Amino acid sequence: MEHVTPIYILSGFLGSGKTTLLSRLIASFKQLGLRPAIVMNEIGEVNIEGLAADEAVPTAEMLSGCICCTIRSDLSSEIALLIQRERPDVIVIEATGIANPMEILDATAEASLYMRIDVKKLITVVDAAYLLHLNIEQKGKTYRLMQEQIRAASALVLNKMDLVEDRDRETIRELVKRWNPHASIVPSVRCDLNVEDLLQSDPGDRNEHSIVHHREAGDAHEHRDKNKQANSHEHDHSHSHEHDHNHDHDQTHDHGSHDHVMSYTYYFSHPVNSVEFERLIAGLPRDVYRAKGILTFSDTNSRFLFQYAFRESDFMKITPQGQVPDVVVFIGEHFQKSLLREQLEQLEGKTSRA
């Protein structure tokens, strides 16, 4: 039986406080009795933060490049090796400060085609004082990158709020809320916050987004109790997740309290008709701008690698090595998960077409 490994992605510009938050997350997971692991990305040849990290926590270092560009192809293998060697209960990916989070989601989606992982949250740490400063001129590469990092998040940590004047606090909150009305917002100083609240939905129960998996009900039994702790937000909040597992046993694995997601993964339980699948893809909303997957069609004898971008789709015959599930991953900008899930379930014949 396979264990689905939850993954959290930390984003945020250089100096925002990501590593401080990483330390707090790791400490919180360990207090729950979980075994965490880290994927740490740095642009330089030496990961200074890694040198100071807890040696008891398995860490994969990706140096001399950014996950979202020069070394993104390595991310899948690093995650796979971590899972194979260490069998962690949860993985945290800390991206370099210049990374575009949508590209990181794309790279992680690539990994989810070949291994059972579940991206629970993309958390962006925002240097509130610095963003206020940049917002005066509203231009420059850094400003645009911070905007992208905020827009892609399922949770936002407004850090360094002690450096923001009282009169400006609502301004900065409204700014990030305008860029991303779906994400929960947690103000902090030195990322001193309630980790449980951060990993669940926000206090107002506004929303969350995640890569959402349909998976077989029989996950590794020895991991089940730990996963209930690592994914405690699945039970009371639903990332749009209504915790009903739906794979071979008609159970759906949903996560969150909001219906709009950045990335959504669906595991098929059996082959589907190729014409109907292509019709579904042709009708995708414009908010979905990337998709990929591995599929078996009921009307062909081959398996296919599926790619979708810029309203164009491509299918290539493949012969996967080992046991590779039929799965498809959709990436976009806060698109409606429930509608897409319903269409996929109809495709599989799991729900009525009435």
Question: What is the pLDDT, as a whole number, of residue 137?
Answer: 86
- Model confidence at 51, in pLDDT bands (50, 70, 90)? very low
The pLDDT tens digits for 175-191 are 999 999 999 999 999 99
- Dist. CA 57–CA 307, nearest whole Å: 35
185 within 8 A of 213, measured Cβ to Cβ:
no
- Dist. CA 229–CA 232, nearest whole Å: 5
The pLDDT tens digits for 213-224 are 333 333 333 444
Question: What is the pLDDT, as a whole number, of residue 320?
Answer: 76
Strand, coil or helix: what is 344?
Answer: helix
Question: What is the pLDDT, as a whole number, of residue 246?
Answer: 38
- Model confidence at 54, in pLDDT bands (50, 70, 90)? low
State the sign of the Cα–Cα–Cα–Cα dihedral 204, 208, 212, 215.
Answer: negative
Question: What is the pLDDT, as a whole number, of residue 93?
Answer: 92
Q: Tokens 């998996």 map to which residue?
A: 213
Question: What is the pLDDT, as a whole number, of residue 101?
Answer: 81
The predicted model scores a pTM of 0.66
- Model confidence at 260, in pLDDT bands (50, 70, 90)? low
The pLDDT tens digits for 191-210 are 999 999 999 843 333 333 33
Percent of residues, the chain, with pLDDT higher than 70? 73
- Dist. CA 279–CA 330, nearest whole Å: 15
Question: What is the pLDDT, as a whole number, of residue 206?
Answer: 33
Residue 124 tokens read as 């962006």
**Comparing C-alpha atoms, which of 299, 310, 303, 248 is closest to residue 276?**
299
Q: How far is CA 272 from CA 290, 291, 319, 331, 341, in A?
A: 20, 17, 18, 21, 15
